[in-house]
DNA sequence: TGCCCATGGTAAT
DNA sequence: TTACCCTGGGCAG
C-alpha cells in the first residue's frame, strides 16, 4: 500500500493535469455512482495530500476524499508527468526480470524526467509505466470505482478503502483525525505536535509511529526503517522517548518522505552509489535495513533481523542495533 | 490454477 | 484480537 510519499506523488499528478480543468466523473463499477454525480462536470480547484489521504476540491464546494488502503491504486492514462526515473525503470524491470534490460530502461528513463507525455502509469505502492493505449478514452479495465477524465488525461481508481464526496466540514473532520504531515505542517509546528503526541502516550513507539493520529503518512516500511535508523527499540513506551530523540525521529521522517516524493521509492539506506543505488531502485530486497528481512543478517552488525506481530502488523528490528 | 501474502483501516467481538 | 474489505504479485503444484 502506498505510504505517505505515494499519495503526495498522486496529488501532484492531479495538481498538474486536473486542477484548473473541468472533470468528467463517473463510476464504471457503480459503487461511486451517487458521489460521482455530485461532482461530475465541475472544475477541480485543488489537490491536497495529507498523510495517506487525498483530497480533491471542486468549484461546487465539494471534495472527493480517497484513501487507497491496502490494495487501492490510481491508473493514469493519456497526458501524465513521468519524473521518477526509478519508477519507470523498475516498472519495466518487473516485466522483463533481466538486469541488462533494467539498465537500458534506466538509461532510457533519464530522458523523460519531468516531461509530461502520453503513456499509462499505475500509481500505488510502487509505480509502473505501461504501454500507451491506442483507444481514447481507454475502456475501463476491471473494477473501476471512479473515473476522472479531462480532455487529455484519465485517472481510474480501483480498490480503495475510502472514496466519498464530502463538504468543508467533512474535510475538517477527516483532518482532525490526522497527526502532522511533514509536507503539510512545515517548520517546527509539526515537529512540536509530533513530540507531544509521542511523549504523552504509553504505547510503544513502534505502535505510535503507525498511529495516523500521532503522525500521518508512516506505514509499516517507514516505521521499521525509521526506528532502525534511530537505533531505537520499537518497544520503548512513547513517554520514555527522550525529547531530542523524538525530535530527531520527526526530522528523519521529513527527510525520508521528501526523498520518497522525489524518487517514488522508499529508499531508507543513505549514501548508495552506482550499482548499489540502481539495485536498490530495482529490487526491494536491496532497499531496506530491516523491513522484510526476518532472519537475514543485519547490514550493520550481522545479528539476525527479528520479527514479531505488534498490533496486528509485522514489526522488524535488529535486537543489537535497537536494544531495549 | 489456486493459495498466500501485502507498504491499511474499520467495525465487530 | 479477529473478520473483513478488495486487488495483484509471487509461488507451489
For position A114, what pLDDT does the model report? 62
Exactly one of A117, A239, A313, A314 is catalytic; which is it?
A313
Query: Which nucleotide lies at the shortest CA–C1' distance from A126?
Result: B7
Question: Mean pLDDT over all residues of chain A?
Answer: 89
A71 touches strand C (CB under 7 A): yes
A209 touches strand B (CB under 7 A): no
Q: Give DSSP secondary structure letters for A141-201.
A: -S--SEEEE-SSEEEEEES-SEEEEE-HHHHHHHHHT----TTTS-HHHHHHHHHHHHHT-
Compute the half-sphere exposure of residue A170: CA atoms within 13 Å on the CB side of its CA. 14
Is A128's pLDDT higher than 90? no
A314 touches strand B (CB under 7 A): yes
Exactly one of A3, A120, A223, A229 is catalytic; which is it?
A3
CA atoms of A164 and A66, how far apart (whole Å):
7
- Give the residue from A219, A171, A138 showing the smallest Cα distance to A66: A171
Q: What is the pLDDT of residues A159-211, one digit of tens each?
A: 999 999 999 999 999 999 999 999 999 989 999 999 999 999 999 999 999 99
Query: Which nucleotide lies at the shortest CA–C1' distance from A144?
Result: C7
Is A103's pLDDT higher than 80? no
For position A276, what pLDDT does the model report? 83
Distance of CA A250 to the CA centre of its chain: 17
Is A15's pLDDT higher than 70? yes
Are the C-beta atoms of residues A225 and A266 closer than 8 Å to each other? yes
**Segment A272-291 mean pLDDT:** 83
A73 touches strand C (CB under 7 A): yes
CA atoms of A130 and A156, how far apart (whole Å):
14
Query: For strand B, which nucleotides have at least one atom less than 7 Å from a protein CB?
Result: 6-10
A69 touches strand B (CB under 7 A): yes
CA atoms of A207 and A313, how far apart (whole Å):
9
Instruction: Name the grid cell of A253.
Output: 521522517
For position A115, what pLDDT does the model report? 63
For position A117, what pLDDT does the model report? 77
Query: Is A196 one of the catalytic residues?
Result: no
Lowest mean pLDDT across A94-108, A118-132, A248-262, A310-324: A94-108
| A5, A67, A155 from A88: Cα distances, Å | 16, 24, 18
Query: For strand C, which nucleotides have at least one atom less than 7 Å from a protein CB?
Result: 1-3, 5-10
pLDDT band at A109 (very low <50, low <70, confident <90, very high): very low
Q: What is the pLDDT of residues A308-323, one digit of tens each?
A: 999 999 999 999 999 9
Query: Is A151 one of the catalytic residues?
Result: no
A288 contact partners, CB below 8 Å, separation of at least 6: A221, A224, A225, A266, A268, A269
Is A111's pLDDT higher than 50? no
Query: Is A52 one of the catalytic residues?
Result: yes
Per-residue CB contacts under 7 A with strand B, chain A residues 260-299? 266, 284
CA atoms of A61 and A98, how far apart (whole Å):
49
Q: C9 C1' – A26 CA distance, angstroms? A: 28
Q: Which residue is listed with cell 457503480?
A: A30
Instruction: Provide the whole-model pTM.
Output: 0.92
Instruction: Name the grid cell of A100.
Output: 541488462
For position A107, what pLDDT does the model report? 45
A309 touches strand C (CB under 7 A): no
Percent of chain A with pLDDT over 90: 75
Amino acid at each position: 500500500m502506498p505510504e505517505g510519499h505515494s499519495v503526495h506523488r498522486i496529488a501532484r499528478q492531479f495538481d498538474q493535469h486536473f486542477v484548473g480543468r473541468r472533470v468528467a466523473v463517473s463510476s464504471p463499477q457503480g459503487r461511486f455512482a451517487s458521489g460521482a454525480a455530485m461532482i461530475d462536470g465541475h472544475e477541480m480547484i485543488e489537490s491536497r495530500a495529507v498523510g495517506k489521504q487525498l483530497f480533491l476540491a471542486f468549484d461546487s464546494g465539494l471534495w472527493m476524499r480517497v484513501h487507497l488502503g491496502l490494495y487501492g491504486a490510481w491508473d493514469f492514462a493519456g497526458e501524465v508527468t513521468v519524473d521518477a526515473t526509478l519508477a519507470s525503470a523498475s516498472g519495466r524491470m518487473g516485466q522483463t526480470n533481466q538486469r541488462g534490460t533494467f539498465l537500458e530502461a534506466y538509461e532510457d528513463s533519464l530522458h523523460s524526467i519531468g516531461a509530461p507525455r502520453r503513456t499509462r502509469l499505475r500509481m500505488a505502492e510502487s509505480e509502473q509505466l505501461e504501454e500507451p493505449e491506442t483507444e481514447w478514452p481507454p475502456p475501463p479495465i476491471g473494477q473501476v470505482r471512479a473515473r476522472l477524465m479531462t480532455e487529455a488525461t484519465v485517472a481510474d481508481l480501483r480498490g480503495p478503502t475510502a472514496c466519498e464526496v464530502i463538504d468543508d466540514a467533512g474535510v475538517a473532520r477527516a483532518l482532525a483525525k490526522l497527526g502532522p504531515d511533514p509536507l503539510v505542517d512545515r517548520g517546527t509546528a509539526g515537529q512540536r505536535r509530533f513530540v507531544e503526541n509521542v511523549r504523552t502516550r504509553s504505547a510503544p513507539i513502534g505502535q505510535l509511529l503507525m498511529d495516523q493520529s500521532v503522525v500521518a503518512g508512516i506505514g509499516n516500511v517507514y516505521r521499521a526503517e525509521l526506528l532502525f535508523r534511530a537505533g531505537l527499540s520499537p518497544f520503548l513506551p512513547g513517554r520514555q522517548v527522550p525529547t531530542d530523540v523524538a525530535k530527531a525521529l520527526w526530522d528523519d521522517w521529513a527527510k525520508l518522505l521528501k526523498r520518497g516524493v522525489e524518487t517514488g521509492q522508499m529508499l531508507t539506506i543513505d549514501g548508495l552509489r552506482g550499482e548499489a543505488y540502481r539495485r536498490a531502485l530495482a529490487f526491494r530486497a536491496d532497499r531496506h535495513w530491516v523491513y522484510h528481512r526476518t532472519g537475514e543478517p543485519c547490514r550493520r552488525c550481522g545479528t539476525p533481523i527479528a520479527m514479531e506481530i505488534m498490533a496486528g502488523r509485522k514489526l522488524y528490528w535488529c535486537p543489537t542495533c535497537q536494544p531495549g
